[in-house]
Structure 1
């Protein structure tokens, strides 16, 4: 009986994997290109947000292109506009991203990939390290540009996972 179950799982994997069509993400996640995004409604410090994302087999978002940045901004504007059935106060919108300069001051890198940030969208005058600011946030008050901030301030956060992660998890379980 066990070999039949393994065969069934492999058939599902091959069938879904061969189409290369990442049309679904986990419930409450949003698809853009080949990644799924979770826009957290809860607030957490940067380390707590990182742990939460890891617990879902994801990581804090690494915004690597202008297109991805525009997508994230449009989602946040939409989320916060609908929060009060009118245009919400965007100045209160702050989300943790997956970058910091904890290892080397002034050298921001993405934590999951351990790569330096090659695309950035800093607000003018940022990063400024005004008092131990090591983590990267996306801030509505700064026209959805990035800011460095102390990592211990609770904010919303964005997790990112590959669109095919769910298939891998099915096989692994």
Structure 2
């Protein structure tokens, strides 16, 4: 795990040699460090959208603004996003859709493009449990921002990812 350093004057939270997370204003954005590549060879930045939408509505919204629902391909990205949300979230019981679901086959976790989710995630205790046919994944404050399966039709905030 990488060390977390907080730069108070600039109000940035940085993961050493990885991502700078800017939460200086109400518009919350993760700013990428230009030379860092993501797991899939892409440089990405993220934006939390504080509009509640279903999983499907969140996918459409992200695509309409030139992005996609946030993918978490590895533990490093998981830790970065969770650290950022944990420090920036002022919403009580905040829940955020990410691009993971098992809609096509129960227990087989995939992204919305059908590619199997290789990173197994940081699941909350007793999750995934498919209670009441839960097929989509959220980061939930109630579970310390661990992964939680939830009904895709529940309106949540969400995180969009933009590749550069």
Q: Normalising by structure 1, what TM-score?
A: 0.69
SS of aligned partner of 1:116: coil
Which residue of structure 2 aligns with residue 132 of structure 1?
133
Q: Deviations over 1:84-132 (max 9, x none)?
A: xxxx64xx021001111111111110113x2211211111221111111
Q: Which of 1 and 2 has higher RCO (CA within 8 Å, sep 6+)?
A: 1
Which residue of structure 1 aligns with residue 95 of structure 2?
94
RMSD: 1.9
Q: Deviations over 1:15-42 (max 9, x none)?
A: xxxxxxxxxxxx8642234201011111
Structure 2 gaps of 5+ residues are 1-26, 37-42
Counterparts of 1:1-173 in structure 2, within 5 Å, are 29-32=29-32, 33=36, 34-80=43-89, 83=90, 89=92, 92-112=93-113, 114-119=114-119, 120-162=121-163, 164=164
Which residue of structure 1 aligns with residue 13 of structure 2?
none
Structure (1 or 2) with the greater strand fraction: 2
Separation of aligned partners in 1, 2:130 and 2:30: 32
Q: Deviations over 1:119-158 (max 9, x none)?
A: 1111122111111101111111112110110011111000
Structure (1 or 2) with the greater helix fraction: 1
Separation of aligned partners in 1, 2:140 and 2:29: 21
Q: Shift of the alpha carbon at 1:78? A: 2.1
Q: Any conservation in 1 of the 2:28–2:88 contact (CA below 8 Å)?
A: no
Count of aligned positions = 129
Radius of gyration: which is bigger?
1
Deviation beyond 2 Å, 4+ runs, structure 1? 27-33
Which residue of structure 2 aligns with residue 22 of structure 1?
none
SS of aligned partner of 1:47: helix
Separation of aligned partners in 1, 2:50 and 2:125: 27
SS of aligned partner of 2:50: coil
